[in-house]
Amino acid sequence: MATTGGMITGFLLTALAGWGLYEYLPPQYNPFAPLSPSDPPTVVTRYKLRQLANDPAACMAVLRQASEQGMIQFREQSSTTGNCPLDSPVRVTRFGEVQLSSSFLASCPLALSSAMYVQQRAVPTAQQIMGSPLRRIDHLGSFACRNIYNREQARRSEHATADALDISGFRFANGQQITVRKGWNESGPRGEVMRELFSHSCAFYGNSLGPNYNAAHADHFHLGMRGFGICR
């Protein structure tokens, strides 16, 4: 299904190009305009993010732009070899005003999608529902050289290529902290902010899996680059 979605988008974009309509489109809808970290998440934005996965230099250029705009702080890391090789990964240390429970290793597309999600949606959502700035994201990690659910027969997890981040909770400037495990089913603003933070992530990642997906995700949001808008 993910592939079908990609093919349909590709087909539509080709058709639009044939009609010469791009020049009338705002950049976030124009697939030939370079991606900007502040582009709102349209289907074309998602398409551009996917294209960047095949073009490390272009991805790094946009990520540096995000850094210059204060959306993300990161360090470039050397590529690694071995069972789970990483091509030009980065270490993300914070998202502007939003700290992390610890830094995490990320593919360039994961770092970029995450910066866009945090700054465009998570920060305003926290302010709106909690009435307090988002201060910290707690996570369970991004890179692990393993198969899906650690099963021997399964294919490689997105975590094996640092293409997914597992978020376990959020902390706010007023001192409140909410974990995915407890907050997901809470009533009032604490539960609402949790569910909103999850649903907003769906526009920026290939797949977002949360507590409603299965018991393995009861305590975290898995935000990964594979797929084409899977959101459960």
Binding footprint of Zn ion on the chain (CB under 5 A): 164, 166, 222
- With beta carbons less than 8 A apart as the criterion, state whether 225 and 113 touch: yes
Which two tokens mark 171?
A: 């902390």
The CB-of-185 to Zn ion minimum distance in angstroms stands at 20
Would you say 138 or 166 has its CB closer to Zn ion? 166
Which contacts (CB < 8 Å, 24+ apart) does range 153-160 have? 156/84, 158/224, 158/225, 158/226, 160/84
CB 194 within 8 A of CB 167: no
Shortest approach of Zn ion to residue 222 CB, angstroms? Answer: 4
Strands 221-224 and 164-172: antiparallel
User: To the nearest whole angstrom, how small is the minimum distance from the Cβ of residue 94 to Zn ion?
Assistant: 21
Residue placing its CB nearer to Zn ion in the complex, 44 or 209: 209
Which element (helix H / strand E) includes 135?
Answer: strand 134-141
The strand pair at 99-100 and 134-141 is best described as parallel
Min separation Cβ 157 and Zn ion, Å: 7
By beta carbon distance, the residue nearest Zn ion is 222
Token pair, residue 83, equals: 């069972």
Amino acid at 31: P
Least distance CB 144 / Zn ion (angstroms):
8
Q: Based on CB atoms, which residue is closest to Zn ion, 13 or 231?
A: 231
Which tokens go with 189?
């603003």
* Residue 2 vs 17, nearer CB to Zn ion: 2
Shortest Cβ 60–Zn ion spacing (Å): 24
Report the residue number, 46 or 222, with the smaller CB distance to Zn ion.
222
Distances (CA, A) of 124 to 100, 184, 199: 17, 19, 14
User: For residue 86, what is the DSSP state?
Assistant: B
